[in-house]
Amino acid sequence: MNAPVLIQPNRIAGKGRLSVADPMRFTFDGKTLPALKGDTVASALIANDIHLVGRSFKYHRPRGIVSAGPEEPNALLGIQRDVARHTPNIRATVQEVYDGLEATSQNRWPSLKYDIGEINDVVSPLLSAGFYYKTFMWPRKAWDKVYEPFIRNAAGLGKAPVHKDPDRYSSQHEHCDVLILGGGVAGLSAALAAAKNGARVIICDEQPTFGGALHFDTDIVIDGMDGFSWAQQAMAKLAAMDNVRVLTRTTAFGYYAQNYVGLIERVSEHLSAPSADLPRERLWEVRAKKVIIATGSIERHMVFANNDRPGILLASSARTYLNHYGVAVGKNVGVYTANDSAYAAAFDLKEAGINIPAIVDIREHPNAELVAKAKALGIRVLTGHGVMAAGGKLRVSSMSVAPVNGGAREVIPIDSIIMSGGWTPSVHMFSQSRGKVAYDAAKSRFVPGVYAQDCVSVGSCNGTDDLSAIIDEAIKAGEEAATYVRPNTSQVSISIEANGGNAWEGTLIGAAPGAEAGKVVKAFVDFQNDVTAKDIRLAVQEGFQSIEHVKRFTTNGMATDQGKLSNMHGLAIAAEALGKELPEVGLTTFRAPYTPITFGALVSHSKGALFEPTRKTPMHESEVAIGAVFEDVGNWKRAWYYPKGGEDMHAAVNRECKTTRTNVGMFDASTLGKIEVVGPDAAEFLNLIYTNPFLKLGVGKLRYGIMCREDGFIYDDGVVARIAEDRFHVTTTTGGAPRVLNMMEDYLQTEFPHMKVWLTSTSEQWAVIAVQGPKSRDIIAPFVDGIDLSAEALPHMSMAEGTICGVPTRLMRMSFTGEMGFEINVPADYGRAVWDTLYEAVEAADGCAYGTESMHVLRAEKGYIIVGQDTDGTVTPHDAGLDWAVGKKKTDFVGIRGLKRPDLVASGRRQLVGLKSIDGRSVLEEGAQIVEDPNQPVPMKMIGWVSSSYWSENAQKPIAMALIEDGFNLMGKKLYVPMANEVIEVEVCKAVFVDEEGGRLHG
């Protein structure tokens, strides 16, 4: 962009720290405006004499910039870098201008100046706090169709993004000895002291430059320098030390248990062309041994009629605009204060050539020196006066001033008002740490009281006002923190010399004169949520006596600024209305985040490929190559079916099932959980974990096992192989792998610690290829060495070790299809090569690969259950027809007692049976419900449900399994499955649909 011509009406030559040599341009509501490097959007707007920047939430009142920091309630803009990088509700006072930035005002239509929503301001008497609870109830139907859509449309500020966020966010876990929150004079002093004493220090500040109040307070001299320069030097000194990490633009947003503090660093949002590799923001998750809280304090506004008019700002903010950004907030600036600090702002403005028509001070006797100085500068001081109302609409134009104790009003024309009701210590982080605040009655403020964690507050946030006292306190805290963490390092003390910075006296919380009870004016407490002093009083009047009720009824403090300006005022007004003292009423709870933080930054890397791991088996790529379609099972991708030549799932599954039963099929079973159970007591241990008996299982033999929880419900199942006397290879379901191992470890470590057994997960050590079907042996035989595959040597449910394709294998003769079959375990890195080799052979024999869907069908044809499908957490082994797997003679196993509870042995339990569709063609829907009488009225008595259901190509009919009340006794009974548009007749049968005798297993 070409260097713009700088015509900025409010930029004061020679003031501020920005350089005219760094011009930039940005747009506001489409209009291009000049700015300087280092400007915030707010300072640049004010430089261009723009105060009107938005509309309020409820009444759509015109609103301007109130502050120069994160406490800003009004100046929220939409910021757009490009189409996909639109962000709503950005505080203009925090967002730095970069060349080309686009800003848009919010919550107005059709334009900022002429906003239809303004009608709400006119009818505002109707829209008092909580009005919606009292109305919109008739007619009943109108709520859904008229009232609620109306309320919703009126609410909300900016517009949510509509594009996927293209930005990166990064995260970082970090540890340190001392974490310092805030880089004002207190934070910097503490950091210097801690760092000099050898501590690992992190200091962060949410602003682009350190210094805090030194940005505006030019009266301060530290170590012979003006305060701001000192801060920059201190920060440079810290940054150069190896044991210190200095973080600017970094907000501490959350203080969690055990000194775990979350910080967000804004990395690139101030750059005009950030590198694509640079994250937009970075989340720091810091664990500190000691935290020093040095978050300063926040100036309060004055609560008077129309105090929300654009052009009315906090006094110290006006001073920041002048002294840091070189921008005057107006040409003719009125001052309204209850506190000394506004005087300095007035003096600075006056000295910069701005007209100050009057300082209105509600105090009768403010500091005489300040008054004298004002007079010396030719500023009129009205003590004991208040601003009864502000005039103007889109911009403040006058202030109506009157004595506090009553008297004539004088209307003073101005184009801006700066105000100060005193300072609120920022106890947010302290409170988040679960510390309890204490009330400082002398100064009407809450300060840190009882600490709950290893932290300490210093400076203005601790209620310390005097500069020298702040520095002393901070140095002490820094030194003590360092020696607390590192008691053995020798102590270095530092000294910092300061001049200026006396305590500012005076405070006003609650409504200012003219807005007291009974006055029907709009004196805003919470700007963004349009909460006025009278709303707070109304809440109390209606019985909302707890401050928490007041908050929720009025929404005071619930806006994006979370009450940084409003909470104390709200509290004071409520307390007055209740006739109670402030601490009796108390504050609402401080919660994270301190200021709103981007979802993306909390997500950081956990998105897209890193949202969750995607687990693939060793054979995955080979399966992709032969056209597999995958399904998600937990984090796994499992081959679901292998369509050929345009087949749909149904056709593919029919072919796969048929081929496997008549010829051979191969299946990737690698995702099954595997646990190696080793040790002299291994058999004993499994005997306790499984319902089945395990002591007598021979070496080289397999056994199907069921596992319950103590409550007797099926938890998992799998096949257990005895590799050696003291070594078992246990399999679990895919999803069950981690929890089964965890449960076994639990019993082993805590209930049976006397047993010498060790558990190792081998789920991923072994790739598993199931080869099933009448030709399975012929297929694998040529590749196997060292194992006799004959039915005699390796019968069903046995295993042997040897090699396949030259690689070691645990070869198991087992079957989940009902066919003769083998499960070939090979070390995972060989899985793909073995799969490829076998697949070639299978293909040559006109066999096929089959996926999980066919696996489900094939096992259902045999009535084998799938835990989690045919059982849920309410099914016992007996219900599932697996009574035979429960060791009757065992004196103990997990679940033995639970199984005997009355309801688990009662009659009428749902039992797993087969179902045939009587029409011979209707495939039931899984999950469909079963009734005895399809003609009964709703609610119907359901007696069971369909857990598995498929078309069986092998049986040439639909097959299903279902859990039905008393099912074992209902064989042959006709039941009904009512669907949305039809009723399907079914008959209960045994859950075996192919090879009922089971001969095929043994080929």
Ligand X SMILES: NC(=O)c1ccc[n+]([C@@H]2O[C@H](COP(=O)([O-])OP(=O)(O)OC[C@H]3O[C@@H](n4cnc5c(N)ncnc54)[C@H](O)[C@@H]3O)[C@@H](O)[C@H]2O)c1
Ligand Y SMILES: Cc1cc2nc3c(=O)[nH]c(=O)nc-3n(C[C@H](O)[C@H](O)[C@H](O)COP(=O)(O)O)c2cc1C
Residue 950 gets the label, from left (phi > 0), alpha (psi -120 to 50) or beta, of beta
To ligand X, the closest distance from the beta carbon of 187 in angstroms equals 5
Tell me which residue has tokens 């449309």. Answer: 153
Pairing of strands 281-293, 455-457: parallel
DSSP H or E run through 601: helix 599-603
Beginning with the edge strand found earlier in the chain, give each strand of the sheet holding 381-383 in spatial order: 312-314, 416-420, 333-337, 359-361, 381-383
Minimum Å gap between C-beta 524 and ligand Y is: 17
Tokens of 919: 């029409």
Residue positions counted in the chain: 1003
| Residue 591 in contact with ligand Y, rule: CB under 6 A | yes
**Helices 533-541, 547-554: inter-axial angle, 10-degree rounding:** 120
Say if residues 558 and 551 touch (Cβ distance below 8 Å).
yes
Which of residues 68 and 292 has its CB atom nearest to other proteins in the complex? Answer: 292
Closest by CA to 668, choosing from 785, 797, 835, is: 835
Question: In this chain, which stretch among 224-232, 585-593, 653-661, 881-889 interacts with ligand Y, using CB under 6 A?
Answer: 585-593
- Token output for 539: 């809440």
DSSP at 719? E
For the bound state, the minimum distance from the C-beta of residue 559 to ligand Y, rounded and expressed in Å, comes to 7
Would you say 234 and 210 are in contact if contact means Cβ atoms under 8 Å apart?
Answer: yes
* Nearer CB in complex with ligand Y: 157/467: 157
Rg value, the chain, Cα: 38
- The DSSP bridge pattern shows strands 423-425 and 297-299 to be antiparallel
Minimum CB separation of residue 860 from other proteins in Å reads 13
State in angstroms the smallest separation of the CB of 560 from ligand Y.
8
The yes or no reply on residue 918 touching ligand Y (CB under 6 A) is no
Closest to other proteins by CB, 703 vs 910, is 910
55: closest CA among 103, 101, 123, 116?
116
Q: In what order do the strands lie in the sheet with 225-226?
A: 225-226, 221-222, 498-499
Stretch that binds ligand X, among 202-210, 356-364, 604-612, 716-724 (CB under 6 A): 202-210
Output 614 or 790, the one with its CB closest to other proteins: 614
Q: Mask 554-583, x = binds ligand Y (CB under 6 A)?
A: ----x---x---------------------
**154 lines the binding site for ligand Y (CB under 6 A):** no
Which residues, 408 to 437, sit near ligand X by CB under 6 A?
423, 426, 429
Q: Does 459 bind ligand X (CB under 6 A)?
A: yes
Own/partner long-range contacts of 84-89 (Cβ < 8 Å, ≥24 apart):
84/161, 84/163, 84/164, 84/165, 84/166, 85/165, 85/166, 85/167, 86/159, 86/161, 86/162, 86/163, 87/161, 88/157, 88/158, 88/159, 88/160, 88/161, 89/157, 89/158, 89/560, 89/596
Which listed option, ligand X, other proteins, ligand Y, none, makes contact with residue 830 (CB within 5 to 8 Å by class)?
other proteins
Which burial class, exposed, middle or buried, applies to 147 when counting CB atoms under 10 A from its CB (0-12, 13-18, 19+)? middle
Distance (Å, rounded) from C-alpha 606 to C-alpha 618? 24
H-assigned helices in 491-579: 533-541, 547-554, 567-578
**564 or 859: CB nearest ligand Y:** 564
Supply the minimum distance, in Å, between the C-beta of residue 456 and other proteins: 7
Q: Is 436 in the site for ligand Y (CB under 6 A)?
A: no
Q: Which is nearer to ligand X, 187 or 330 (CB)?
A: 187
Q: Which range binds ligand X by CB under 6 A, 91-99, 294-302, 476-484, 721-729?
A: 294-302
Q: Is 204 in the site for ligand X (CB under 6 A)?
A: yes
Which residue, 467, 464, 500, is CA-closest to 219? Answer: 500
Decide if residue 652 touches ligand X (CB under 6 A): no
Nearer to ligand X, 251 or 400 (CB): 251
| Contact call for residue 295 and ligand X (CB under 6 A) | yes
Query: Which tokens is 969 given?
Result: 């006794």
Partner touching 904 among ligand Y, ligand X, other proteins, none, CB below 5 to 8 Å by kind? other proteins
Q: Is 447 in the site for ligand X (CB under 6 A)?
A: no
From 154, 156, 159, select the one nearest 80 (Cα to Cα): 159
Give the tokens for residue 308: 């929300």
Shortest reach from residue 328's CB to ligand X, in Å: 22
Using CB under 6 A as the binding rule, whether residue 602 contacts ligand Y is answered as: no
Q: Choose the contact partner of 501 out of other proteins, ligand X, ligand Y, none; CB within 5 to 8 A by kind.
A: ligand X
d(CA 592, CA 262): 9
Among 19, 495, 499, 589, interactor with ligand Y by CB under 6 A: 589
For the bound state, the minimum distance from the C-beta of residue 555 to ligand Y, rounded and expressed in Å, comes to 7
1-15 core/surface letters (b: 16 or more CB in 10 A; e: else): eeeeeeebebbbeeb
List the single partner that 788 binds among other proteins, ligand Y, ligand X, none, CB under 5 to 8 Å by kind.
none
CB 862, min distance to other proteins, A:
20
The CB-of-104 to other proteins minimum distance in angstroms stands at 13
Q: Shortest approach of ligand Y to residue 563 CB, angstroms?
A: 8
Nearer to ligand X, 68 or 924 (CB): 68
Q: Which helix (H) or strand (E) holds 299?
A: strand 297-299
CB of 205 to ligand X, least distance (A): 5
Joined together, the tokens standing for residue 810 give 């645990």
133 binds ligand Y (CB under 6 A): no
Q: Does 448 contact ligand X by CB under 6 A? A: no
Q: Restricting to residues 914-973, which ones interact with ligand X according to CB under 6 A? A: none
User: Which of other proteins, ligand X, ligand Y, none does residue 161 bind to, with CB < 5 to 8 Å depending on kind?
Assistant: other proteins
CB-hemisphere CA count at 13 Å for 43?
A: 29
734 in helix, strand or coil?
Answer: coil
What's the min distance (Å) between Cβ of 788 and other proteins? 18
Q: How far is the CB of 865 from other proteins (least distance, A)?
A: 14
Among ligand X, other proteins, ligand Y, none, the one that 504 touches (CB under a kind-dependent 5 to 8 A) is: ligand X
CB nearer ligand X, residue 191 or residue 539: 191
- The answer to whether residue 296 forms part of the interface with ligand X (CB under 6 A) is yes
Measured in whole angstroms, the distance separating CA 385 from the mean position of its chain's CA atoms is: 48
The piece of 176-184, 868-876, 894-902, 966-974 that touches ligand X (CB under 6 A) is 176-184
Nearer to ligand X, 359 or 769 (CB): 359
CB of 127 to ligand Y, least distance (A): 17
Find the part of the chain contacting ligand Y (CB under 6 A) among 588-596, 696-704, 772-780, 924-932: 588-596
Contact status: 852 vs ligand X (CB under 6 A): no
Using the minimum distance from each CB to ligand Y, give the nearer residue, 446 or 685.
Answer: 446
What count of other Cβ atoms lies within 10 Å of the Cβ of residue 893?
23
The Cα–Cα gap between 546 and 567 comes to: 14
Residues 466-525 that bind ligand X (CB under 6 A): 467, 470, 501, 503-504
Residue 489 interacts, among ligand X, other proteins, ligand Y, none and using kind-specific CB cut-offs from 5 to 8 Å, with none
The CA distance from 98 to 932, in Å, is: 72
**Using rule CB under 6 A, residue 252 touches ligand X:** yes
Establish if 213 lies at the interface with ligand X (CB under 6 A).
yes
**Using rule CB under 6 A, residue 205 touches ligand X:** yes
Is the preceding omega at residue 939 within 30 degrees of 0, hence cis? yes
Binding positions for ligand X, rule: CB under 6 A: 181-187, 204-207, 212-214, 217, 251-252, 294-297, 423, 426, 429, 459-461, 465, 467, 470, 501, 503-504, 594
Binding positions for ligand Y, rule: CB under 6 A: 558, 562, 588-589, 591
